Chain A
Amino acid sequence: MAEPIKTDVLIIGAGPCGLFAVFELGLLDMKTHLVDILDKVGGQCSELYPEKPIYDIPALPIVTGQGLTDALMTQIKPFNPQFHLGEMIESLEKIGDPLFRVTTDQGKVFEAKVVVIAAGGGSFQPKRPPMPGIEAYEGTSVFYAVRKMEQFRDKNLLIVGGGDSALDWTLNLAPIARRVTLMHRRNEFRAAPDSVNKMRALVADGKMDLALGQVTALEGEGGQITAAIAKPDKGDPFKIECDTLLPFFGLTMKLGPVANWGLNLEGEVIPVNTESFETNVPGIFAIGDINTYPGKLKLILSGFHEAALMSQKASKYVNPDKRIIFQYTTSSSSLQKKLGVA
């Protein structure tokens, strides 16, 4: 097992609330590591609406999702947070009082006195496409990601989608698969034009097939797919034989492995108290869109407030002997020293 990374606080999710939590925890002398499944910070702000203006951040009459993310990164810089991007927390176990061992899907291990779940709508995961009965084939002959290309050598692949993932894997797998068919609902693609041109060249050379339509049904048994039935915009449904289906329908947010950590849940969110935003497990907090309490509003500004109160209680676990003196950044020389402005 990998040598554990020891930290005061592990923050799961690097969206606006996770980032601001670094600031509030930092003022109280707690060191932070953040893990996010995306390969960049900012969460939904940078993944879903980087260019969209937000109008309800106090004192910022208008700011884009990316602008808010960039400003938060500047604000938390004095606290030197450590980021682990492109990784998903897979398991969490309690090993002390409180002390948690947290493991990512890449095998990285953390030991944290406090865990803050700031995972927003959950982790971004491949979207299950709207094909009836697809669940029965998942993991056997339907895959939402390519981990090892070799797995698809000599397979009869049907790749569905029109974005970069669909086109990239079409181009990469065409040389090793027995046959590749790319299916998309229309003859226009979101993917990079260069990839689209390469794909069209392969089709022209007879090295792969392009089919225009939407999958309406899957055929197969025992988890093994044998064909997909598709419907074109106009005309009769048609059938494409395949032994492997790779659908690329973008990302959606799922609660994911959080559901298995022994926390109370209400649907897809985690109930917390409103004094400290702590969950039913002492030492594990939940802030931002992922929590719920009476009167909860899923606003970024609420998440900022939650981060501040959470930090007060977190300090009692991380530095139990330390008395917290309430201070303002405007006037406290010790806070200003931490911020590097004194």
Chain B
Amino acid sequence: MDWFISQTISGLTLGGVYALIALGYSLVYGVLKLINFAHGDVYMVGAIAAFGTACAFGWGQTADEYVRSGVMLAMLAVAVVSCLGLGYVIERFAYRPLRRAPRLNSLITAIGVSFLLESIFQLPGVFGASPRGFPQCELPLGPIRLAGATVRLEQLLILGGTLFFLLVCRYIILHTRTGLGIRATSFHHDYARLMGVNVDRITSLTFLLGSGLAAVAGVFVGLYQHQVDPLMGVNAGLKAFTAAVVGGIGNLAGAVLGGILMGLSETYIAGSAFSAFRDAFAFALLILILLVRPGGLLGSVAPEKV
């Protein structure tokens, strides 16, 4: 039982991070029908930006709770702002010129941007090839015992934070004009344009929203895992993308569901005697779900208008 509780909490935490990243994939796919392979690297940039901020403010060296909280907010702010900028630049200069080109081109450009970000950050002058430790900070409470299981306070904080940002995202999508624009644009570019939606602006905003969520995920992982490196986006991106597809790409609730599912199943398997089969299982699950429900768990395959 305690095994189950602690693994479930770990799985939910990991799943929350996946969900935050998966939302970015799903949002962009919805609007542009583009698999944005550079998204995982935006997440990496978010984590590194938070790392830079934490180092600059000497986080972890001070014991003052107020200073700590302030620095933590600053980390979030810097990470989000830098990812928003990056997201905008990528969309404006790498994807927008290709709006009318075959989709394969945007795919290749996305991969090019991804390589570019990874190799730039691997340069010794920029960040370097090796991982670096995130400055550490003792939280006031140690591990919490819950029905015999150990739960870390960070895990609960991250779970709460993830939930908060998911709700913010939901609010934006469902209750703002921008969200309406995003939904309209996902439905059909030309129809949206006819209804007076500025599709270019909405596409940029979608990228900004996705990048912002990725930045949040980056900060959380930095805090949680105490380690950042320029290639951290590759694996996380691949998993989050898988999660988005499992949930139904283009469907936002699906992205969250897929992320949580992915996190839980990975954690249960990694924490069992079959830990070696973790990734094989995750991808087999992906293919299986696509076979049974081609549109993903919550997605639907709209019949093509003929």
Are both chains from one complex? Answer: no
Contact residues of A with B, CB < 8 Å? none
